[in-house]
Chain A
């Protein structure tokens, strides 16, 4: 059953068209990865799904709701879409636990005690049971990103968006975040991931969409894209990635 449908999405910044008619679909439980060179529009595409960036034309549907419909409340819509950022963007003045409870309390109206319990569970799930009272600046990058994942998961979203979740991490910290993401994928979360982590893509992705200059050039399961890419551009990019040790 289709959870996300993206239809002919166009987006320009000034004179520069970043997305030139992107379309794809995801079923519930799918894990899709967006890959492509920098500037190809991957992050913009992701941000158009929860309207952190607004599209110029086209359509996005989430679980039957038109994301850009005139009657759609963007704040309600975003409760269904978790987002994990490249730079974590944890609330700097709040502890790990408070980062997770803030949305529960302020957006979902969950009472304090219940919010605390739920947040503690989510932090335990990402392996941070011992860090609930730490502030973001006291945590490593990998730990911060896992708090970011817990914060998004706590809202019980239908879809999770990951915007280059491991790009800002030291290489030795990438593994712990990828592991949490893989675990999430196995538990059936629908995930759309912008990432060049070949390991994650290979083991967890259902489909990979290769973007170049604002268009999806090629889509397919990882084994197909990695072993028999149909387009030169895809092949070139993937060869480059592999030789860079990804």
Chain B
């Protein structure tokens, strides 16, 4: 049952939870950035590359997409021990996994740009690289927005899996609150509170990304 005393407890500890939310936001951003830095080139290699690089990227993607994120994170932290910092480990785990998904978003977006765009760019004398960079990529990035927005939300919510390696993000902090002695009655209130914070974060970023996508949309053309 929801009880007034337990709500007061949540309100009293809001700072504590919001600090966790800040870690969640930070981890989301570092993971997405790492995911973009690796995922975008990986997507491009899958479309334009050949031979070993293409093979490497596509096998890596299959492995990462086929492994549960909790397993990836636990292996990185306890088996490989890439870092003593749970934040760094979580960034690498979520970032690699996101790269594997982002590569597919960008692969699809690059492939969706009409072949004629490349031909027209080559016909004025641009090299393949220039044509990709100045003509194909700007259009592909716009088309990748819906998929990227989706990925943003997924990574944001999956930061909670860093709970498994003890990172003090939003979920971990919520858990720590109600496991304090005598506070087990506040479980529901704490979960309602952290769910609300997750909702505000996902809803807010989605609206912001909608705006961004509208801003860069090509006038009266297809929507980004």
Residues of A within 8 A of B (CB): 50, 52, 75-79, 81-83, 85, 87, 89-93, 102-103, 106-107, 135-138, 148, 151-152, 155
Main secondary structure of the interface of B (DSSP, over half): helix
Q: Would you call B138 and A93 a contact (CB within 8 A)?
A: yes
- A-B contacts, 17 of them at CB < 8 A, read A76-B125, A77-B125, A78-B122, A78-B123, A78-B125, A82-B124, A83-B123, A87-B116, A89-B116, A89-B120, A92-B117, A92-B218, A93-B218, A102-B121, A102-B135, A103-B126, A135-B220
Taking a contact as CB atoms under 8 Å apart, the answer to whether B219 and A89 are in contact is: no
A106 touches B130 (CB 8 A): yes
Q: How far is the CA of A102 from the CA of B130 in the complex (A)?
A: 11
A136 touches B124 (CB 8 A): no
Q: Distance in Å from the Cβ of A210 to the closest Cβ of chain B?
A: 26
> Which of B122, B139, B221, B222 is A52 in contact with, Cβ under 8 Å?
B122
Say yes or no: A85-B139 contact (C-beta < 8 A), given A75-B127, A103-B125, A107-B126.
no
Q: Does B142 contact A (CB under 8 A)?
A: yes
How far apart sit A155 and B125, CA to CA, in the bound complex (Å)? Answer: 9
Given known contacts A92-B139, A106-B126, is B219 in contact with A135 (CB within 8 Å)? yes
Interchain CA distance A85-B130 in the complex, whole Å? 20
- The minimal Cβ–Cβ distance linking A114 to chain B, given in whole angstroms, is 17
Contact in complex: B221, A92 (CB < 8 Å)? yes
The answer to whether A102 touches B218 (Cβ under 8 A) is: no
B130 and chain A: residue at smallest CB distance: A106
| Shortest 5 CB-CB contacts between residues of A and residues of B | A137-B221, A103-B124, A89-B120, A89-B116, A79-B125
